Structure 1
């Protein structure tokens, strides 16, 4: 089981078989992310091998932390080949969100 936590708040939780590890980041399936903790950010970015990125602000109590999560809504076909799985829509988190493996 993997959890993403911001302080004491769990913002994503998924079984180890359901997450995807890419370039040192843990990507959670969209269904594993708690409702209401992400808000679209307008920050543009395109990865040369994954495609267009969607950044998110992450809710921290009453505050929103800008660009602390990201996803690739429509990945490039070659990215699936490179990773071995379709990770479209999966969400990864920036360093101030603690992602760790926990007991199930």
Structure 2
């Protein structure tokens, strides 16, 4: 079981992980939504498409834009549709 942890909390866990560019993409339903806060941040990847972000909130502490996902990935990245990845201090193991 692969877990994503931040600030002492398990944010996500699943055996169904997709690896892309060294990042673990978790199925959306394996991520605890209680730790996700909407973010207006977006970014663009030439081959994956436009990414949207969530900040994490655990015990009142916020990790800005620590989770990202591609709402409508390009065909080359179709395998990450419906999945979320983490960074910025989130431990994945």
Q: Output the TM-score relative to the length of structure 1.
A: 0.83
Provide the aligned C-alpha RMSD in A.
1.1
Encode CA deviations 1:52-79: one digit per residue, 9 max, x unaligned.
Answer: 1011100121122111110011111122
For the residues of structure 2 that align with 1:68 and 1:23, how far apart are their CA atoms? 16
For the residues of structure 2 that align with 1:57 and 1:79, how far apart are their CA atoms? 23
Aligned equivalent of 1:89: 82
Aligned equivalent of 1:83: none
Give the number of the structure whose residues are more often strand, by fraction.
Answer: 2
Aligned equivalent of 1:2: 2
Which one has the largest radius of gyration? 1
Aligned equivalent of 1:69: 67
For the residues of structure 2 that align with 1:11 and 1:66, how far apart are their CA atoms? 14
Cα shift at 1:7? 2.8
Q: Output the TM-score relative to the length of structure 2.
A: 0.92
For the residues of structure 2 that align with 1:44 and 1:78, how far apart are their CA atoms? 19
Count of aligned pairs: 93
